[in-house]
Amino acid sequence: MVTRRAFTASGLAAGLLAAAGPAGAAGPASRPVVVELFTSQGCSSCPPADAFLGELARRDDVVALAFHVDYWDYIGWKDPFGDPLYTARQRAYAARLRQRSIYTPQMVIDGITHEVGSRRDRVEAAIEARLRAGPAERVSIPIEFGRRSDGPVTVIVPKAAATGPADLMLAAVDAEHVTEVRRGENSGRVLSDYNVVRSITRIGRWTGDELAVTVDPDTWHRGADFLAVLLQGDQGDIWGVTRIPL
């Protein structure tokens, strides 16, 4: 269940965890870069990109997320983490970025540019460009959170200047999965997948005023290792991000 209410960061009860920069913070490297990998266990060219995402996941200045698509399932191996919702998310990016088609492995960086996920140099260059970008080029809105052990999560986005509305998204993420693939293009391989998104839900709509949303644990995939909260503008660009340990 998701509830919305007026809230201030100073009103967080004692014992809650909190993570955020100062209200209104903006500027180079003031938040991590979000890297979204669209991948599939049924794609023979994806494992190098999956491994690369695992490396990016260890960086403090990157939030790395793997979205497993379902359009390669017909080849013979149904990806256990594939979801048509993630395919739809990739198609939405393709429309915004004016791509002719969707493909795997694809990495979308901060929602504004994309590269083939196995092209390490290009992906790393895109990440560094985002980290160096000033506030005029890269919006950085802090996100705070509070949570009691095994209880609901409260996410707070402060009042700040905004160029338009943004969706507040909550993704539940498994840190790693190892799968023995028995059919399809990767038949006989043991694949390691990192930061696998198991669910993603819109939990709020931010318009510039302070927003607080309390989310019940039943809202996200149970058993996840952490939550990623994204503040995403209508054009797909990421304005804020934080990780919530579970």
- Closest by CA to 158, choosing from 239, 76, 54, is 239
189-205 per-position pLDDT tens digit: 999 999 999 999 999 99
CB contact at 8 A, 43 and 175: no
Confidence of residue 1 (pLDDT cuts 50, 70, 90): low
Prediction pTM value = 0.89
158-171 per-position pLDDT tens digit: 999 877 899 999 99
203-232 per-position pLDDT tens digit: 999 999 999 999 999 999 989 999 999 999
- Closest by CA to 68, choosing from 36, 100, 32, is 36
pLDDT for the residue 4: 53
Confidence of residue 15 (pLDDT cuts 50, 70, 90): very low
* Residue 157: pLDDT over 60: yes
pLDDT for the residue 222: 87
Q: In angstroms, how far is CA 245 from the centroid of its own chain?
A: 14
CA distance 229 to 203: 10
User: How far lies 140's CA from each of 59, 101, 109, 204, 242, in Å?
Assistant: 18, 30, 15, 18, 11
- Mean pLDDT of the region 6-21: 36
CA distance 49 to 117: 5
31-76 per-position pLDDT tens digit: 999 999 999 999 999 999 999 999 999 999 999 999 999 999 999 9
